[in-house]
Amino acid sequence: MQEPTMPLDPTQNHPTPPQPRQQQEPPGTTPEMQPKPDHGEGSYRGSGKLNGRAALITGGDSGIGRAVAIAYAREGADILISYLEEDEDAEETARWVREAGRRAVLVPGDVSQEAHCNGLVDRAMQEFGRLDILINNAAFQRTHESIDEISAEEWDATFRTNIHAHFYLAKAASKVMQPGSSIIGTSSINAKDPSPSLLAYATTKGAIANFTVGLSQMLAKQGIRVNSVAPGPIWTPLIPSTMPPDKVESFGKNTPLGRAGQPAELAGPFVLLASDEASYMTGVVLPVTGGRPMW
């Protein structure tokens, strides 16, 4: 008989604010963060939910993308890790995927460009012969206190990375995906409760939620499910590299659970939505917000 496991106290099972004051240059790297994020390296246990499948994860080098890559590999999937230029972080993610006995393919480049997105799908097909899961996770954000601080170039870059890439990749992937495949985006609590200082980012996250629902209906007849996960405040390199030190220090304090979420706490929802256990779930925007209401 197995020993019972004790449930975790969600208010105490991960670090609580204040975090040390810190700042990095964008896009930020994991090794410089204090405390270090938890991506499930020592905790996630797979059970074969994704055996033999192939996934393409954008922003797979760190943060949520790394946690999803680790979980998917331990569930039996091979992973193409798309990232911008953070080679050290990407290699670390690949190491965890390979330790799980699965293939990891690293492809740097800018997902704001349609040609690169098409190339990612082509590369996945060349490497794996199939593409079962697309994770649109890469994101760009900057904080500003006035709309006058946001340049037209930054507004365009935010939209091209955060929502245009979803369109480019979904369009390319849906041409090669088979029935039962899954497209999953990363939306945000900002889709429903936008932070004024993240105006451009928050606007794109609302667009992702809308895109999820619309595309799910468009692709349903092909048997391709489309969903998204809407995280609350999650402790990733994006935070110390795009927020001022005082906001980093208190990051996550405004949730009912009183802390920022860890990337590892997103792995389960992403696994669920990619697996056959979610076969009747499409058009869902799934909140993982530490208790902050979305709807």
| Residues with catalytic function | 201
Report the C-alpha gap between 263 and 220 in whole angstroms: 29
Report the C-alpha gap between 98 and 200 in whole angstroms: 36
- Which residues, including other chains, have CB under 8 Å from residue 106's CB and lie 6 or more apart? 81, 83, 90, 91, 94
Report the C-alpha gap between 141 and 29 in whole angstroms: 15
- ∠ CA 10-13-19, rounded to 5°: 105
Half-sphere exposure in the Cβ direction for 245 (13 Å, CA): 6
Length, in residues, of the chain: 295
DSSP state of 130: -
Nearest to residue 27, comparing CAs of 59, 66, 71, 54? 59
Report the C-alpha gap between 228 and 132 in whole angstroms: 16
In sequence order, which ranges of the chain are alpha helices (DSSP H)?
Answer: 63-74, 87-99, 114-128, 152-159, 165-173, 199-219, 238-242, 245-249, 264-274
- Which residues, including other chains, have CB under 8 Å from residue 53's CB and lie 6 or more apart? 72, 76, 77, 78, 130, 132, 133, 274
Q: Which amino acid is at 256?
A: P
- Which residues, including other chains, have CB under 8 Å from residue 61's CB and lie 6 or more apart? 81, 83, 84, 86, 89, 90, 92, 93
